Amino acid sequence: MDLKSLNFTQGAPSTTWTVTHGFVGKPEVDVMVTVDGKVQKIYPKTIIHSADGVLTISFSEPVTGSVRLVGVIAGVRSHSTMSYFEPDNV
């Protein structure tokens, strides 16, 4: 199995973020939000793996930011020169 990553950005403030992904099972989730102009890693109110390939993140107040997911992609075979997702700057 080969681990892959995916970045999701929530540009408009919202109390609920819905992230669609192609991972098998439940990927690892890191949530970063912007507070007073600074990006901070936080633990949201909830992270619910609501369906295959979908997770819902909720917050107490509307926020913007990003999510990084790491997991195994369904149906993707690994090759030493293959990159499923572009590297990120998170």
Residues 72-81: tens digit of each pLDDT: 876 655 444 4
For residue 87, is it within any domain? no
Range of the domain at 54: 3-73
Number of domains, the chain: 1
pLDDT digits (tens, 9 = 90+) for 22-75: 888 889 999 999 888 888 999 999 999 988 889 999 999 999 999 999 988 766
The residue among 37 and 17 whose pLDDT is bigger is 17
Whether residue 88 is contained in a domain is answered as no
Say how many CA atoms lie within 13 Å of 77 toward its Cβ.
1
Residue 83 has pLDDT above 50, yes or no: no
Q: Is residue 78 part of a domain?
A: no
CA torsion, ordered 14, 57, 73, 69, to nearest 10 deg = 80
Question: Could you tell me if residue 89 is inside a domain?
Answer: no
Angle at 71 between CA 59 and CA 90, to 5 degrees: 60
For residue 30, tell me if it sits in a domain: yes
d(CA 63, CA 59): 8
> Is 29 a domain residue?
yes
In a domain, 85, yes or no: no
